[in-house]
Amino acid sequence: MFQVNDYIVYGNAGVCRVESIGPMSFGDSSTERDYYTLVPVYQKGSRVFTPVDNDKVVMRPILSQEESNALIDSIVDIRPLEITDEKHREDAYREAIRTGDCTSWVRVIKTLHGRMEKRYEQGKKATSSDEKYMHLAKESLYGELAFSLSIPKDQVEEFITERIEG
């Protein structure tokens, strides 16, 4: 169980601060279950309410600075997703993003980067689906890395490139 003021990753909301823990009140009634009130770090003015025992959405501690640096150092060795059936491409992206796992997000980004490069070489644009999942994967990954490394989110991609290229 997380504590008030812990920072966690919660589903597509990304990095959140646990603002409070307790029963929810709905007008004249309240619930027996305890809920987390989460404040997403990168979605100003937003709040998320979720049961403490929620097992449908990924809730986990954010990566430490050491774990983030280790992930970045391992990016060159992380393989893209292997998608053999084009009909299930979106499902593969969606599932990889939904896991809440940074390595899976890297796999989606690498897969889409390669696919988009091929399309550009053929004189084609990226599909709206590819752009959507690239955006989701980058937002998730860069948000967590930015927070754990204490750097602005818009500088994460450059930070990764510089670290990989030495």
150 is a domain residue = yes
The confidence score (pLDDT) of residue 28 equals 61
Nearest to 52 by CA among 101, 4, 102: 4
Range of the domain at 142: 63-165
pLDDT at residue 73 greater than cutoff 70: yes
Mean residue pLDDT of the chain comes to: 94
Query: Average pLDDT of 5-23?
Result: 96
The confidence score (pLDDT) of residue 106 equals 97
68 and 116 both lie in a single domain: yes
Number of domains in the chain: 2
Nearest to 137 by CA among 111, 107, 163, 105: 105
84 and 142 both lie in a single domain: yes
Query: Average pLDDT of 8-19?
Result: 96
The confidence score (pLDDT) of residue 27 equals 65
pLDDT in tens, 35-50: 999 999 999 999 999 9
Rounded percentage of the chain residues whose pLDDT exceeds 90: 86
Between the CA of residue 141 and those of 8, 19, 48, 103, what are the distances in Å? 13, 22, 20, 9
The confidence score (pLDDT) of residue 46 equals 95
